[in-house]
A = this chain, B = another copy of it.
Amino acid sequence: MSVAEMLRTHPADFGGIDRDVLRRCIEECVACAQACTACADACLAEPDDVLPSLRKCIRINTDCADVCETTARVLSRHTNDVELTRAVLEACATVCRSCADECEQHASHHEHCRVCAEACRRCEQACREVIDGLAAGAGR
């Protein structure tokens, strides 16, 4: 991915957010969205007797994919509305945590859930780091 290059070549600055923290969060959101879309589909491909137990996992995976993609897009734009950015990041961190919690319950049986849960934890953490940076930036 060319996230770092796109940040480097953007003509504007970033409203006080550290560029590496921002880059990492965009990368984790994009990776988590893909993992969640793939995990929902992998759950759907599990055997008939297992499939019903994965309903909730499929739904949360699909929600999480949507929210992470939106968050990656919002962070890729320099909207510079701190309240808007924080609200989206808070939603993303919350959804990633819910999705990680759900996927972890299936991680011992389904490796795709284990991989996806890890992507969600990293993404949640990356969102919280940007939120912390926003708070520090707003105080300047």
User: Measuring CB to CB, which residues of chain A are less than 8 angstroms from any residue of chain B?
Assistant: 1-3, 5-7, 9-12, 26-27, 30-31, 34-35, 37-39, 41-42, 44-48, 51-52, 55-56, 58-60, 62-63, 65-67, 69-70, 72-74, 76-81, 83-84, 87-88, 90-91, 94-95, 98, 110-112, 115-116, 118-119
Contacts and interface: CB of A to CB of B under 8 A. Distances in A.
A10 B34 contact: no
B81 A91 contact: no
A65 to B, nearest CB: 8
B63 A31 contact: no
A122 B31 CA distance: 19
Q: From DSSP, what is the main secondary structure of chain A's interface residues?
A: helix
A87 B95 CA distance: 8
